[in-house]
Amino acid sequence: MLIELAVFLVPAILFSQAENQPQTISGPQPKIEVPETSFDFGYAPSGHYLLHSYILRNIGEDTLHIKRVRTTCGCTKSPLVKQVIAPGDSTYVTLIFNSTRYYHKVRKAAYITSDDPQNPRVKIDFTADMDTLAKPIIRSDPAALDFGSKDDFKTEKSFHIIKDTKEKLDLTIVDYTKDVIKEIKIDKKWKKNKREVTLTLSDDINPQLFFKGSVTFEASDSLGTRITVPVRGGGAH
């Protein structure tokens, strides 16, 4: 079960100096490790939710306690699976970005505070580009997927990724919301500059409850162009 930590709109300068400074303590200590601290959603539509999870590991010799996760913007939330991590164990925090009223490229961040005496505060961040005038080499049609609710609820939906170039491109799935999406199938070949993608929802999805997720794709062009397709459904949205 996700633990929704409080989200505070505070700049980094308000964190206490004592909380951020490394401490010298003898004996076994916890040690936090965040393998990935930055993520790029690439191009995404405005008015939807984008999600990405960051793994938190305890590579120390004592239990690690996550004290809080603070975001720098009210448009971003940060659910955490668990706050107490045993040595050798791990958990993850998910940043949920609401792109409503954003029509440009943004970078948002969150700060993870723990009782690691040497690294008490870790920054994680992401970028997303909602520029409506941009013309990326790939795009999704439609830009977002709605699986419906109640009588029109679907467990599987298809859409197309369109490439606006004659260049040969491969597509890679960079990331997706695993507790929402069970399977992603991509056609092996482009057909008239389109490739069909089919998403199947997780068996645990309850159509009576609102859910949200996203899938990020990357093209094999020189820029490594990325797009993120938001997913939602269920409830009375």
In this structure, the answer to whether residues 66 and 19 fall within a common structural domain is yes
In this structure, the answer to whether residues 69 and 100 fall within a common structural domain is yes
Q: What is the pLDDT of residue 22?
A: 65
3-state secondary structure of 17: helix
End-to-end Cα separation, the chain, in angstroms: 22
- Residue 6 predicted with pLDDT over 80: no
Q: What CATH number has the domain bearing residue 181?
A: 2.60.40
In this structure, the answer to whether residues 7 and 107 fall within a common structural domain is yes
In this structure, the answer to whether residues 13 and 123 fall within a common structural domain is yes
Q: What is the pLDDT of residue 23?
A: 63
Banded model confidence at residue 11, pLDDT cuts 50, 70, 90: very low
**Apex 34 CA angle, 28 and 36, nearest 5:** 165
Query: For the whole model, what pTM was predicted?
Result: 0.88
In this structure, the answer to whether residues 48 and 87 fall within a common structural domain is yes
In this structure, the answer to whether residues 26 and 121 fall within a common structural domain is yes
In this structure, the answer to whether residues 142 and 225 fall within a common structural domain is yes
HSE-CB of 206 using CA atoms within 13 angstroms: 5
How many angstroms separate the CA atoms of 147 and 40, rounded?
A: 25
- Residue in the block written with tokens 């440009």: 104
pLDDT tens-digit series, residues 29-73: 999 999 999 999 999 999 999 999 999 999 999 999 999 999 999
How many angstroms separate the CA atoms of 141 and 99, rounded?
A: 18
Range of the domain at 218: 138-233
Q: Percentage of the chain surpassing pLDDT 70?
A: 89
The count of structural domains within the chain is 2
pLDDT tens-digit series, residues 187-222: 999 999 999 999 999 999 999 999 999 999 999 999
Q: What is the pLDDT of residue 236?
A: 73
In this structure, the answer to whether residues 86 and 179 fall within a common structural domain is no
In this structure, the answer to whether residues 47 and 17 fall within a common structural domain is yes
Residue after which a domain boundary falls, among 129, 160, 191: 129
In this structure, the answer to whether residues 210 and 165 fall within a common structural domain is yes
Average pLDDT across the chain, whole number: 91
